[in-house]
Amino acid sequence: MAGEALIHLDGLSKVFYTEEVETHALSNIALRIQTGEFVSIAGPSGCGKTTLLSILGLLDSPTAGKYLLDAEPVENLSASQRAKIRNQAIGFIFQAFNLIGDLTVYENVELPLTYRGMAGSERKERVQAALERVGMAHRMGHYPSQLSGGQQQRVAVARAIVGKPLILLADEPTGNLDSKNGNAVMDLLKELHNDGATICMVTHDPRYAHVADRSVHLFDGQIVSEDDARRAQALEESGFDVAH
């Protein structure tokens, strides 16, 4: 069964080299995500969550280790093949929404389909459907700056799902929102999951970690058990530096 995991990481590590300092952002990560799962990745700031997510999303490459996406190795893909996979297999949701300010809501959501070279009429249908799914169809002609944060994130979710990707990657999707709007976005993700979407979500907000089927705890670039994670969290909060 292991071979059928949508995402399969083994021995994966990532080192950043900057001005003669090596940052081991990820060390020896092993992780499987099955189709239809909702996995949350939790951990303190700087532990490597975003790095892990960006490797999953083919925005970055690991320094070492194995990564199979839908049973295909990704390490030797060309830049344009990676772009194509990002476009078709992956949907991104960012903490900072990252809508393009010069484009309307409609155009923002349409963008992944445009990159795919999809015909206009089909695009229109899909965008319409995605916006209805997130309850933003009535704001189609607006510009992002005319929307509240919560509304912007809903549009971003629509943009992530419009291409019917294999997996949604969400990096602290509620991080820039107040709790009311945060809850609304979280509810939306839950609904998507219930409808069958595979989701991998980064959060360091313990309130949302339990929403997922499964939580993976990262600490200092490594996956740790939930208990270890809790202990480490407590230590950190009491002022000890656990990294050394």
Ligand X SMILES: Nc1ncnc2c1ncn2[C@@H]1O[C@H](COP(=O)(O)OP(=O)(O)O)[C@@H](O)[C@H]1O
Please identify, using beta-carbon distances, which residue of 25 and 232 lies nearer to another protein: 25
Q: Report the amino acid identity of residue 23.
A: T
Q: How far is the CB of 110 from ligand X (least distance, A)?
A: 29
Q: How far is the CB of 97 from another protein (least distance, A)?
A: 4
Dihedral (CA of 189, 191, 192, 193) sign: positive
**Contacting ligand X (CB under 6 A), which of 1, 3, 20, 45?**
45
**Contacting ligand X (CB under 6 A), which of 13, 15, 23, 63?**
23
Which pair of tokens denotes residue 240? Answer: 């000890």
Question: Which residues in 33-62 contact Mg ion (CB under 5 A)?
Answer: 50
**Contacting ligand X (CB under 6 A), which of 27, 40, 50, 203?**
50
The partner residues of 12 in beta bridges, in order of sequence, read 29
Q: Count residues contacting ligand X (CB under 6 A)?
A: 12
Tell whether residue 175 is a contact of ligand X (CB under 6 A).
no
What is the 8-class DSSP label of residue 63? S
Q: How many residues are given for the chain?
A: 244
Q: For residue 169, which of 60, 31, 3, 41 has the smallest C-alpha distance?
A: 41
Please identify, using beta-carbon distances, which residue of 57 and 65 lies nearer to another protein: 57
Contact segment (CB under 6 A) with ligand X among 43-51, 66-74, 75-83, 147-155 equals 43-51
101: partner contacted, choices Mg ion, ligand X, another protein, none (Cβ within 5-8 A by kind): another protein
Question: Which residues lie near another protein (CB under 8 A)?
Answer: 54, 57, 59-60, 79-80, 83-88, 92, 94, 96-102, 111-112, 115-116, 144-145, 149, 152, 159, 163, 176
Residue that the structure tokens 């998507």 belong to: 192
CA distance 151 to 144: 9
Which pair of tokens denotes residue 141? Answer: 């002609």
Please identify, using beta-carbon distances, which residue of 43 and 112 lies nearer to ligand X: 43
From residue 137, how far is each of 122, 186, 220 by CA, in Å?
Answer: 16, 19, 42
Which residues are CB-neighbours of 76 under 8 A, at least 6 positions away?
A: none
Tell whether residue 240 is a contact of ligand X (CB under 6 A).
no
Tell whether residue 149 is a contact of ligand X (CB under 6 A).
no
Please identify, using beta-carbon distances, which residue of 42 and 56 lies nearer to another protein: 56
Using DSSP's 3-state secondary structure scheme, residue 53 falls into helix
From residue 236, how far is each of 24, 90, 131, 242, 244 by CA, in Å?
Answer: 19, 34, 42, 7, 12
Please identify, using beta-carbon distances, which residue of 126 and 204 lies nearer to Mg ion: 204
Tell whether residue 51 is a contact of ligand X (CB under 6 A).
yes
Give contact residues for ligand X (rule: CB under 6 A): 16, 18, 23, 25, 43, 45-51
